Structure 1
């Protein structure tokens, strides 16, 4: 039966209360986040898990809450970090920087930095400083975190100078000054822009490899980073609860990384080329997920539901915009915007009601408004995509969300119901 778990997966989950009814029925519906939370943690508790929790081999954590309500999880300590490290060590384009012992410098949300500082403070029996020193921002001997502000557009010259100095310190640990740069792509683009604007670009040590892994990377941001860094730039796709599932090569082609996993794709609406990502994973032994709706959307090379033909990850299922021609995802609008001009940096679509004019609010890499021709073409192509009139509005600044990530859609979207069987609960 399409999408149903294999016998060995069923054997791995047979003692977990959450799955007992499905095992008895011989059919597993799509697993929604609400079902994971219902009755937590008793719905996951087995004698083996209880022993692991008591021994410190399993721990309770919260998902980031970036794209949905924060979800309680159970996993081995450093589950996501070990997934990252293993992928880094095996990736054909960047494994050399792992093997050489390059330090990993991470430029991502301030929430990640605060988490590391909080963990280190707890180890010493204290509270984290409001502005933790670099020594308090090392996750382990390999990885440190740079960002101390929510909105990277608010970085001052002193912030940029500090971060570049900390990068140089990490690079000095390598005999040839090599290091690995891990980032949210938009944060790195902000750092590049500000370093150039303030005459600090020459002080920016060039990384030996780059991974962006925390959010959707817009077409123009990816292009901008390739223009400024002459090293492999790799995109990783994954989540707190699953680890990493796919990676790109340096040319942008995605490859599966599905050890202990399988993937199926379900159209988000009848006839749509956008598919919801459904994952079965036993990689986390304490919380194996069977037919789990990750909430992510993909497009394939040919529009089919073949997971081996995924061309790109195009946003979140709950952020789809309903249009007369079917659902539109973040990646769809981004491709339209990026095809008109490479100058557009951040953009957010404001949609106030059916049939009303939409406003596409944009910033640019150089800070200057789009030309009249660029703005008209962007408005025309975006309007054609979403099925309503659209105008472009230049902004010097678009605020970042509380999670430290950017929203592409300001309206409350109304996604079409997902095709296929499910528990039917709201995510």
Structure 2
């Protein structure tokens, strides 16, 4: 497979300025983010797009920028939300909670909460209006079905009042359903922090149990997923996607991934010759205002047999900009996560400092707050050393700060 688009796709993009040279040459190269930004928006503008923008059927938005430089894109209003809702409504394990009209509680980065509050403030007060510093629940409602609950950047710093408020707000979603059911949408680490604090402070008995859980905002470490599955009896599924693409894959309740490639195709290219880690390259016309042809998403995947067969994808293992070079080849976030998980189920947050080329230091926290036992620590130390090809030390901490984006960085970098 050479990755070149089908004749149907070419027919849909042939009039877009950025693609005209490729159509003329009969070859589409891989589309990089800087190329998308160069000359934006004129490099995407057509009479049809201009009319859609004028009619409010298309809008300018920024990608989240949590894992790469923020990129301006053009899309239909609520493009990502509608992609989420459609997938939720069709997912074999959780579609029932959609069709029963369950409310959706979103527990994720404070940046997401702030965005919703800002949009609502401007709906009410005009384009220059700003939300309250601590927006109330009504100001944090995305629509009739969804509201956001996190008001702090670092979930490890939630205090008892934060946790009690969030539990009470979740209870309102539960109470709105005749059978007391609701859907919990989250970043996996955020929900793990909330569960841990509720347990530690004697609030777990009052925590409303969700009927379904989706984690979709960042890589969820295997120990975090296992922790959530231990505490909740409902399906816990992962959705994989992005602001510019919508959702492409979903997991079932066992963690196995299934494609959701409506008006999309993907190809895999090794991150370097011989590597079993692959770049994810996406062609998508799902967004009619900014179709992406052979777009490098920045995500890395592994397949069941190491081949570049998209049908064999088993793991979304991190971002290409966060690959760590080692004597054995590049290492991804998921590779370190496998080592951590094999050593101990008690490790919660972990971060690798490999800035010194001669050694590695793994910072870690645990769900119970206690350092690893010597046997677990030795297994972890040896596993990280084998993975990175460096002498390794461990550093147990009570707290690892979350990144400025509201997501955890697995690899420490110079600031």
Identify whether the pair has TM-score above 0.5, normalized to the shorter chain. Answer: yes
**2:320 equivalent among 317, 321, 335:** 317
Q: Which residue of 1 aligns with 2:122?
A: 122
2:143 is the alignment partner of 1:148: no
1:352 shift after superposition: 2.2
Residue pair 1:376, 1:392 contacting (<8 A) in 2 also: no
Report the TM-score when normalising by structure 2: 0.98
Q: Deviations over 1:262-283 (max 9, x none)?
A: 0000000100000000000000
Show CA shifts across 1:384-410 (max 9, x none).
011111111100000000100000001
1:70 equivalent to 2:73? Answer no
Q: Deviations over 1:116-147 (max 9, x none)?
A: 00000001114200000001100000100000
Q: Under a length normalisation based on structure 1, what TM-score does the superposition of the two structures give?
A: 0.96
Give the alignment of 1:161-176 within 5 angstroms.
Answer: 161-176=164-179
| From 393, 399, 402, the counterpart of 2:401 | 399
| Structure 1 residue 342 corresponds to structure 2 residue 337 | no
Unaligned runs of 5+ in 2: none
Match of 2:5 in 1: 5
Secondary structure of the corresponding residue to residue 124 of structure 1: helix
Could you give the per-residue CA deviations for residues 402-423 of structure 1, whole angstroms, max 9, x where no partner exists? Answer: 100000001369xxxxxxxxxx
Are 1:293 and 2:258 matched, yes or no?
A: no
Match of 1:358, SS state, is strand
**Separation of aligned partners in 2, 1:407 and 1:139:** 27
Query: What's 2:255 paired with?
Result: 252
Q: How far did residue 353 of structure 1 move?
A: 2.6
Secondary structure of 1:175's counterpart equals: coil
Distance 2:355 2:267 in 1: 34
Shift of 1:372: 1.7
Show structure 1 runs of 4+ deviating over 6 A: none
2:232 pairs with one of 204, 223, 229:
229
SS in 2 for 1:205: coil
Count of residues paired in the alignment = 412
Q: 1: distance between equivalents of 2:327 and 2:301? A: 20
The answer to whether the 8 Å contact 1:314/1:330 transfers is yes
Superposed, 1:235-246 pairs within 5 Å as 235-246=238-249
Which position in structure 2 is the counterpart of 1:93?
Answer: 93
CA distance in 2, matches of 1:182, 1:135: 18
Match of 2:389 in 1: 387
Provide closer, same or farther for how the CA distance between residues 412 and 274 of structure 1 changes in structure 2, counting only shifts above 3 A: farther
Q: How far 1:2 sits from its partner (Å)?
A: 1.1
Aligned to 1:29: 29
Map of 2:113 onto structure 1: 113
Q: Which stretches in structure 1 are left out of the alignment for 5+ residues?
A: 414-427
In 1, distance between residues paired with 2:376 and 2:32? 42
Output one character per residue of 1:179-224: Cα deviation in whole Å (capped at 9) or x when no partner: 0000000000000000000000011000000000000010100100
Equivalent position of 1:418 in the other structure: none
Cα-Cα RMSD? 0.9
In 2, are the aligned partners of 1:237 and 1:245 still within 8 Å (CA)?
yes
Q: Distance in 1 between matches of 2:63 and 2:141?
A: 21
